[in-house]
Chains A and B, each alone.
Chain A
Amino acid sequence: MNRVENDEKNKKYLNGSRIDCVCYDDLRYGGFASDFTMNNEVAVKNKKLVRNLAIVAVAMFGFGYALVPLYDVLCEWKWIERDRPDAIKAIPETAYEIDVNRNIKIEFLTTLNENTPMIFRAEQTQITVHPGEYHTVNFYAENKTDKPMIARAIPSFSPALTSTYFEKVECFCFSEQTFAPHEGKTMPMRFVINPALPYDYQTITLSYTFFDNTQNAVKK
């Protein structure tokens, strides 16, 4: 069937008159089937709808990615737990009044991710501090291989909600650490507990996990 015949049929369809059959599956015909099988009005409507729905689909693909930053925002709203390496808090060390009546126990945990051949420990695993008081805790890390190593320490807090009150002035976790073969380093972490910490919390756990990023860093 050729296009002219088709158009004839479409016209009949438009007029609402009866036709036997509209050819829907004539693949030998070039354009989209919808070009010729439906009256124009419907074809135009379809095209528009398809375009809009396709835009929605593409937008939803983007939305998937938008969930990544959205997640961080939600975390800040305390809906969903997560704690990111914190930016350096540039506060003068006298900014807070020391609350000597409160004692907060701070625990330091160290973990090595799989295939991270290091030694890693906190020199003090547990200290008690007053809110507002500045402290430095040293961590020791050593590369056990005879190759250079680039590693990164990822912090995590428990209870997660305390992370915003735990203000770090100096930390080895702010950036990747480079180790020479068999190099051992003592790395300080200086912090203060914001006195606004709610009274519900008496213990804060801060965990660091070291990840060997050498391969990734090299490839990049």
Chain B
Amino acid sequence: MKKIKQLFAGVTFASLGLQSAQADYTLNLMQGVTTVSHDIFDLHMLILWVCVFIGIAVFGTMFYSMYHHRKSKGHKAANFHENTTVEIIWTIIPTLILVAMAIPATKTMLELDNVQNSDMSIKVTGKQWYWDYEYLGTGVHFESHLDAVSEKVHRDGSDPTRVPHYLLNVDNPLVVPVGKKIRFVFTAADVIHSWWVPDLGWKKDANPGFINEAWTQVDKPGTYRGQCTELCGRDHGFMPIVVIAMEQADYDKWLQTTLAKQNEKPDLSDQNRQQLMTNGEAVYLKNCVACHQIDGKGINGTYPALSGSAKVTGGIDPLIGFLQAGTSRMPAFAKLKDNELAAVITYIRNAPELGNKVGDEIQPKAITPVYDDDE
């Protein structure tokens, strides 16, 4: 069946003179990599075939009739307009089919709902526009943003076709061990988001102020990609999800290194201009670009421009304070480490693409704390 469909697709493409940029297009639902996702896939195929058969019967009858019962063929119209037996039959049969469908569907639904007895829990927080993952009880807590290449390419309008996993790649993927029942707890910090990885078989909404839960148990090591599926504003299309499933031993190692990296003191030594600008751009792409845009021009009437802004090119201390405190319309960036703040300030004051050229370098030690973020 799959072969036939791909053949069909191939023929369609050929006749339209198109080329598939990547051959891994699919036509059908993914089977996924968990027991539940397989069950869901089976349900999908079952109901699909039911529809196909009903469709063949109904459309077959209709087309037969359209061919044979035509006036141009001299067919004389009959005059019947009801038949109780037939009507009862075609009410009962669909009912039976539905009952037969409902049984396995209920089973799978119950399976999906059984979140208890998990081996570990991960809290997922949706934010405009990235995901925040917290491995409960381990201290591991990080943000997962769209990767820098996709971020840049979709914003500056260059050709995306050569970007690996365009829009489906992140800087910090979610790593999970295989063979373990993992419980997810979802919430959001601003608007509603929805967390979907097709290979896991489900999506779940992340509602601000409330928590939802779901679980998975991945059987096969691998990398599985997904996206936010609840419209969450301007950059809704740009907050992907990447899940990497690895063997327990590898996962333990990953957990350790991640924890170590997270607790590492930031390197606050001086950097040269080149380093500051490169690091600054990375920070900018992750934290600032969504509102102030790739060219620093902001969005008219909504987000102010950084290009030529007196606040940006003026005194440094007020600028640092402003970034750390935020406003009612801009989040506080107290989460940025001193070296990141120094880099991004150097970047916004000097980046040619933002149209600013103050000509100075801000070093990490120049950052004076307004208040410390001790989390």
Contacts and interface: CB of A to CB of B under 8 A. Distances in A.
Q: Touch between A and B in complex, CB under 8 Å?
A: yes
Interface residues of B, number: 33
Contacts of B38: none
A67 B222 CA distance: 46
Given A114-B128, A117-B332, A156 B209 contact: yes
Contacts of B185: 109, 158, 205, 207
Interface residue range, chain A: 20 to 34
Interface stretch (A50-58, A118-126, A185-193): A118-126
A215 interface: yes
Interface stretch (A14-22, A90-98, A196-204): A196-204
B211 A114 contact: no
Interface string A84-116: 000000000000000000000001010111110
B209 A112 contact: no
Nearest to B371: A144
A46 interface: no
Interface string B319-346: 0000001101001101000000000000
Contacts of B325: 117, 145
A200 B116 contact: yes
Contact of A113 (B117, B183, B189, B326): B189
Of listed B121, B187, B210, B213, residue having the most chain A CB within 10 A: B210
Interface string B168-192: 0000000000000001010101100
Interface string A164-199: 000000000000000000100000000000000000
Given A117-B325, A119-B374, A203-B118, A211 B209 contact: yes
Contacts of B212: 158
A125 B125 contact: no
Interface in B122-154: 123, 125, 127-128, 134, 136-137
Contacts of A109: 123, 134, 136, 185, 187, 211
A107 B373 CA distance: 24
B189 A114 contact: yes
Given A115-B326, A126-B136, A205-B185, A107 B121 contact: yes
Contact of A111 (B187, B326, B334): B187
A203 B114 CA distance: 12
Given A109-B123, A156-B209, A158-B213, A126 B190 contact: no
A215 B328 contact: yes
A121 B212 CA distance: 20
B208 A113 contact: yes
Interface in B19-69: none
Contacts of A107: 121, 136-137
A146 to B, nearest CB: 8
Contacts of A201: 116
Contacts of A159: 115-116, 213
Given A125-B137, A159-B213, A209-B209, A115 B187 contact: no
Interface in B201-252: 208-213
A139 interface: no
A104 B324 CA distance: 40
A144 B189 contact: no
Of listed B121, B183, B373, B374, residue having the most chain A CB within 10 A: B121
Of listed B125, B185, B211, B325, residue having the most chain A CB within 10 A: B211
B375 interface: yes
Contacts of B123: 109
B118 A156 contact: no
Nearest to A200: B116
Interface string B262-280: 0000000000000000000
B137 A126 contact: yes
A154 interface: yes
A112 B116 contact: no
A218 B92 CA distance: 63
Contact of B211 (A113, A126, A157): A157
A200 B373 CA distance: 40
A200 B128 CA distance: 36
Nearest to B118: A203
Given A114-B189, A203-B118, A125 B374 contact: no
B374 A115 contact: no
A146 B309 CA distance: 25
Contacts of A144: 332, 334, 371, 373
Given A82-B210, A113-B208, 5 more contacts: A83-B210, A109-B185, A144-B373, A154-B209, A158-B212
Interface of A: 82-83, 107, 109, 111-115, 117, 119, 121, 125-126, 144-145, 154, 156-159, 182, 200-203, 205, 207, 209, 211, 215
13 contacts: A107-B136, A109-B185, A111-B125, A114-B189, A119-B375, A145-B325, A154-B210, A158-B115, A158-B212, A200-B116, A203-B118, A205-B213, A209-B209
Closest 3 CB pairs between A and B? Answer: A114-B190, A156-B210, A207-B211
